[in-house]
Amino acid sequence: MIVVLKQNASELKVEELMKRLRGMGLDIHQSRGTHSTILGLVGDTSAVDIDALHALEVVETVKRIQEPYKNANRKFHPDDTVISVGDAKIGGGHFGVIAGPCSVESREQLCSVAADVKKAGASFLRGGAFKPRTSPYAFQGLRGEGIKLLLEAKKETGLPIVTEIMDLSQLFLFEDVDVIQVGARNMQNFEMLKELGRLHKPILLKRGLSSTLQELLMSAEYIMAGGNQQVILCERGIRTFETATRNTLDLSAIPALRQMTHLPIVVDPSHATGHASMVKPMAIAAAAAGADGLMIEVHNDPAHALCDGQQSLTPEQFAETMQAVNAVLPFACR
């Protein structure tokens, strides 16, 4: 961490600051220039509050050099993390596909889709029981009943299930859920992240709508600092000025995160593009760019889906997409 002092900083105040910093176990290297003095802080700066330093009268600016995340940092954990659930694996060379309907609507719908996506090669079943909807007047999900149906579909197909939690008060319902999803709008729901950090099951953490990759990793850090190291990161598109797509899928997040962290990276082309016709090209591109997996919405009757029908693939389209992805995988950039 670099602290740049103001030109006219009083000796006394600077001494006070340096004492405070040394008290935090940091070594200080001082460089005096004509226009400014620079303090280089050496040691573990992850607990140093940048804002607090900025507030000091003698400080002109503060720049962080070391990443503020530790558990998620590849520098300290060079090997890829592999997430295993039953036979399914994601990360470290294992490519995993999570597929299923946006929202669980009925036993028939879910089991039919589950059978179809399994046949096409998916290794996880997804389905929303609790649905975050912008409008209070829109369908809010089957909730507890939805979780029950997911567990039935799991029993029938053997596919481990992935579903979203929206509030900690729902946690007791997730005991038999294999992977708990944290949605984009909850990426910085810090109380929830802390609680999930006490569990012993994988968390699929979606990137916030306008979050940076560092912020995503800081949210993973919240979970990992609690003891739960099983975090799957999910790029699902960020908000930009573009309107031709629902969000903008940031595929450069794959090589960027690959360097920053050892955690597996999954891409969701359905929410990112918002259009079924764009899911296949973006799925192939994500695989080619080196993603560890995909999350894709599949519905047996998109035109009558209760949620996100326009971005859902039919089972046939999904099977076709899987074939195309499998053809590209051997040439993927890893």
Interface with a copy of itself in residues 250-279 (CB under 8 A):
250-256, 259-260, 272-273, 277-278
Name the one range near a copy of itself by CB under 8 A: 78-86, 108-116, 151-159, 187-195: 187-195
Residue placing its CB nearer to a copy of itself in the complex, 154 or 207: 207
Alpha carbon of residue 117 to chain centroid: 23
Residue placing its CB nearer to a copy of itself in the complex, 85 or 296: 296
Task: Burial-class residue 51 by CB neighbours within 10 Å (0-12, 13-18, 19+).
Answer: exposed
Rounded-to-integer distance, Cα 29 and Cα 39, Å: 6
Residue placing its CB nearer to a copy of itself in the complex, 79 or 134: 134
Please pick, from the candidates 12, 23, 55, 93, the single residue that binds a copy of itself as defined by CB under 8 A: 55
Rounded-to-integer distance, Cα 109 and Cα 127, Å: 11
Please pick, from the candidates 8, 12, 32, 87, the single residue that binds a copy of itself as defined by CB under 8 A: 32
C-beta separation of 116 from 301 below 8 A: no
C-beta separation of 197 from 144 below 8 A: no
Interacting residues with a copy of itself between 145 and 184 (CB under 8 A): 166-170
Binding mask 89-118 for a copy of itself (x = CB under 8 A): ------------------------------
Instruction: Tell the smallest beta-carbon distance from residue 169 to a copy of itself (Å).
Output: 6
Name the one range near a copy of itself by CB under 8 A: 27-35, 84-92, 103-111, 198-206: 27-35
Give the angle subtended at the CA of 237 by the CAs of 140 and 302, to the nearest 5°. 50
Residue placing its CB nearer to a copy of itself in the complex, 86 or 138: 138
Please pick, from the candidates 24, 61, 144, 316, the single residue that binds a copy of itself as defined by CB under 8 A: 61
Residue placing its CB nearer to a copy of itself in the complex, 119 or 185: 185
Return the half-sphere exposure (C-beta side, CA atoms, 13 A cut-off) of residue 119.
13
Residue placing its CB nearer to a copy of itself in the complex, 51 or 87: 51
Rounded-to-integer distance, Cα 150 and Cα 160, Å: 9
Rounded-to-integer distance, Cα 18 and Cα 126, Å: 53
Residue placing its CB nearer to a copy of itself in the complex, 109 or 157: 109
Please pick, from the candidates 113, 312, 315, 317, the single residue that binds a copy of itself as defined by CB under 8 A: 312
Instruction: Tell the smallest beta-carbon distance from residue 103 to a copy of itself (Å).
Output: 11
Q: Give yes or no for residue 10 binding a copy of itself (CB under 8 A).
A: no
Q: Give yes or no for residue 80 binding a copy of itself (CB under 8 A).
A: no
Rounded-to-integer distance, Cα 186 and Cα 17, Å: 37
Strand-pairing partners, residue 3, are 39, 62
Strand-pairing partners, residue 85, are 88
Q: Give yes or no for residue 8 binding a copy of itself (CB under 8 A).
A: no
Q: How far is CA 246 from CA 53, 65, 90, 249, in A?
A: 39, 35, 27, 9
Rounded-to-integer distance, Cα 84 and Cα 175, Å: 17
Q: Show Cβ contacts of residue 172 under 8 Å, excluding neighbours closer than 6 positions.
A: none
Instruction: Tell the smallest beta-carbon distance from residue 165 to a copy of itself (Å).
Output: 10
Please pick, from the candidates 38, 82, 111, 151, the single residue that binds a copy of itself as defined by CB under 8 A: 38
